[in-house]
Amino acid sequence: MNGISVETAQRRLPSGLFAELPFRWLTFGAAMLVMAMLGSMLVVLTIDSSPALGKFGLNFLVSSTWNPVTEIFGAAAPIAGTLITALIAMVVGTPVALGVAIFLNEICPHRLSGPLAVAIELLAAVPSIIYGMWGLFVLAPLLGAHVYPALIALLGPIPVIGALFQGPPFGIGMLTAGLILAVMVLPFIASVARQVLSTVPPMLREAAYGVGATTWEVARYVLIPYCRRGLIGGVMLGLGRALGETMAVTFVIGNAHRISASLLQPGTTISATLANEFTEANGDLYVSSLVSLGLILFAVTFGVLLCARFLLAQADRRAAL
Amino acid sequence: MKAAPDPRLITRRRLFNRLMLSLCVGAAALSLGVLAFILWELVLRGVGALSLATFTASTPPPGSKGGLANAILGSLAMTGAAIVVAAPVGVLTGTWLAEYARRSKLAAAVRFLNDTLLSAPSIIIGLFVYALMVLPMGHFSGWAGAVALALIAVPVIVRTTEDMLVLVPDQLREAAVALGVPYWQVIMRVTWRAALKGIGTGVLLAVARISGETAPLLFTALNNQFLTVDMNGPMPSLPVAIFQFAMSPYRDWQQLAWAGALVISASVLMLNIVARTMAARGDR
């Protein structure tokens, strides 16, 4: 293309035009403010968590004692709870989300897939506190009365796996929290998966159908391997969300500071501990320990998101080629 | 030459195909079923608990009748204040990314940090604002709640603004520049106007997102039993009131929580649908 491009026009114009520079600096300032927000978040959390981390050191990560009275705090129980519930959410949510994406892109009639995709994305728009209430008043009683007793009877006697399904079926607990999280991350993973699946070049699909592959074989051996990176990126985005989700979990986790092998027992997560205890915490060490929990959560989700963005960016680059 | 394919193998592949595809259909049916189940319970329990008093009376002590008027007002005030701050910051940042910085390294950094902020756990944002505002001020306040909500809204607006501005064809900018229009006026009169609907969608989605947020308000705005517009003091909000009432053992409080849940879901879903239709119209 000939003539003046936008870039050269930007460079030529500013001199003598009174509002150009101020406007430019205004937008630049806003961008720097956004950067500063994240930076100061990290700084403030680090400063406020230093008393607890300084006192307990690495012990903070491995000790599961959480005693506000004697002021001895260890984060093992909330960290374990966070990881376990997020793991359950991913194990349950990922296959379902992939199934939804394959259904919407490969099976469903074209006219239906748009509205259905919107419906599933609305699932993501529902505020998390609604999931929490639904979990507490509807799902937990349902699971506690009908599903968990059967699980305990069926799987409880089996060695090793049986340890995961022990104890009275309260209804609230790690498994219920994990299941609610699965419902919450499902629309995120499904919508990313749908986007990356639609970047597969039509020739690949046609070639696979041409040699006689079934729809499932096309999905399993062509589509999924082709957009593996993008799919993993989507799953990591979901994981980031599952790790940090607060309200949905707080309702159904039971807030018990202990690590039990059984998934049916109450536990706690970092976010649920913060939501339940922060406003009632007194004493600098207690508050500082809670902030440390927050810092750990921030670091973990940041790492997960970093991986997700990296993988998704690579998938994008590949789609652009 | 290869022998003809084994018919049993073909049957097996077909059956397996059918099984896996049914599982995919099942997954979709399950997800939609869960959405329907949640909405059904919400409407069923919410409508019964909803009355005029829900919108006119303040939150009651346990055992007496009341409503959620103060919580609704508090939510509106804090959401409004948050958006008034977040919208300009977000739109200007998105504009800088799309119009001035484009492919610079600094822009890539801002984009990345913005995406991180976009998916940072909202409770951490509450924690940050607590340390930043509540501790120095010495008390919980509506302003702190509004700042926490603004921190959640900004990245949403930045993202959509940039995405929408990038969609505006460069020829429009070049045409305006060729007429001798200063670049800042090109942005205000041409690109912003061309992307107006998309930017509006982003702001609406941000409103929808923050009006349902509970976690960042727990340690910033706290809660309050009275009707107040004093942003300097603790302020009630609909999500926090729902949290408090739903976790309580009192039946009337739980009823009110369901009414509040219905109000909040209905408004959030409405906002989402309006934003989506607006975006769809903008595409055409």
pTM, rounded to two decimals: 0.89
Contact B99 A119 (CB under 8 A): no
A261: closest CA of chain B, how far (Å): 26
Contact B177 A41 (CB under 8 A): no
Question: For the residues B69-87, what does the mean pLDDT come to?
Answer: 94
Nearest Cα residue to B124 out of B215, B209, B212: B215
Question: For the residues A283-298, what does the mean pLDDT come to?
Answer: 91
The span from the CA of A135 to the CA of A144, in Å, is: 11
B267 touches chain A (CB under 8 A): no
The conformation of residue A67, written as its DSSP 8-state character, comes to E
Sequence-distant (6+) residues with CB within 8 A of A113 are: A104, A105
Contact B246 A251 (CB under 8 A): yes
Local structure of A321: helix, strand or coil: coil
pLDDT of residue A170: 82
| CA dihedral over A240, B109, B117, A271, signed as positive or negative | positive
pLDDT digits (tens, 9 = 90+) for A124-152: 889 999 999 999 999 999 998 888 888 88
- Decide: A227 and A134 in contact? Cβ < 8 Å: no
**How far is the CA of B102 from the CAs of A233, B93, B105, B175, B202, in angstroms?**
24, 12, 9, 19, 20
Between A291 and A13, name the one with better pLDDT.
A291
A24 contacts in B (CB within 8 Å)?
100, 183-184
Supply A54's token pair: 């300084």
Compute the count of residue pairs across chains A and B with CB atoms less than 8 Å apart. 265
Nearest Cα residue to A262 out of A157, A158, A163, A114: A163
Q: What angle do CA A151, A155, A158 make, to 5 degrees?
A: 165
Percent of the residues in chain B that have a pLDDT greater than 90, as a whole number:
61
Percent of the residues in chain A that have a pLDDT greater than 70, as a whole number:
94
Phi-psi sector, A297: left (phi>0), alpha (psi -120 to 50), beta: alpha
Sequence-distant (6+) residues with CB within 8 A of B57 are: B65, B66, B67, B69
Neighbouring C-alpha atoms within 13 Å toward the C-beta of A159: 0
A13: closest CA of chain B, how far (Å): 7
**Closest chain B residue by Cα to residue A100:** B28
Amino acid (1-letter code) at residue A174 = M
| CA dihedral over B179, B183, B189, B191, signed as positive or negative | positive
A31 touches chain B (CB under 8 A): yes
**How far is the CA of B86 from the CAs of A18, A192, B82, B89, B154, in angstroms?**
27, 26, 6, 5, 5
First to last CA, chain B: 55
ipTM for the predicted complex comes to 0.88
pLDDT of residue A121: 83
Local structure of A66: helix, strand or coil: strand
pLDDT digits (tens, 9 = 90+) for B180-199: 888 888 999 899 999 999 89
The span from the CA of A200 to the CA of A16, in Å, is: 50
The conformation of residue B220, written as its DSSP 8-state character, comes to T
| CA dihedral over A9, A11, A12, A17, signed as positive or negative | positive
pLDDT digits (tens, 9 = 90+) for B232-254: 889 999 999 999 999 888 888 89
Please identify which residue in the block is written with the tokens 């909000």.
Answer: B237
Contact B28 A186 (CB under 8 A): no
Nearest Cα residue to B35 out of B242, B278, B202, B269: B269
A277 touches chain B (CB under 8 A): no
Which parts of chain B fold into alpha helices (H)?
Answer: 7-49, 52-56, 69-95, 105-118, 122-129, 135-137, 142-167, 170-178, 183-186, 192-194, 196-211, 215-218, 238-246, 251-283
The span from the CA of B241 to the CA of B146, in Å, is: 16
- Decide: B236 and B142 in contact? Cβ < 8 Å: no
Contact A3 B178 (CB under 8 A): yes
B residues 101-160 lying closer than 8 A (beta carbon) to A:
101, 106-107, 109-110, 112-117, 119-125, 127-128, 130-132, 151, 154-155, 158
B172 touches chain A (CB under 8 A): no
Sequence-distant (6+) residues with CB within 8 A of A261 are: A163, A164, A166
From B27, B112, B268, residue closest to A127, measured CB to CB: B268
**How far is the CA of A48 from the CAs of A44, A52, A240, in angstroms?**
6, 9, 23
pLDDT of residue B93: 96
Question: For the residues A157-173, what does the mean pLDDT come to?
Answer: 82
pLDDT band with cut points at 50, 70 and 90 for residue A101: very high
Nearest Cα residue to B101 out of A6, A115, A184, A302: A6
pLDDT digits (tens, 9 = 90+) for B86-106: 999 999 999 999 999 888 999
Please identify which residue in the block is written with the tokens 């049957």.
Answer: B11
Return the minimum-mean-pLDDT range out of A8-12, A76-80, A119-123, B144-148: A8-12
Paired with A72 in beta bridges are A67
Contact B35 A4 (CB under 8 A): no
pLDDT of residue A14: 47
The span from the CA of B11 to the CA of B14, in Å, is: 5
Contact A19 B222 (CB under 8 A): no
Q: What is the DSSP string of A139-202?
A: IHHHIIIIIHHHHHHHHTTSTTGGGGS-S---S-SHHHHHHHHHHHHHHHHHHHHHHHHTTS-H
Q: What angle do CA B271, B273, B276 make, to 5 degrees?
A: 110
The conformation of residue A278, written as its DSSP 8-state character, comes to G
pLDDT digits (tens, 9 = 90+) for B21-72: 999 999 999 999 998 999 999 999 999 888 888 888 888 887 777 889 999 9
Contact B121 A298 (CB under 8 A): yes
The conformation of residue A73, written as its DSSP 8-state character, comes to E
Contact B219 A279 (CB under 8 A): yes
pLDDT of A1 > 70? The answer is: no
Amino acid (1-letter code) at residue A51 = P
B48: closest CA of chain A, how far (Å): 16
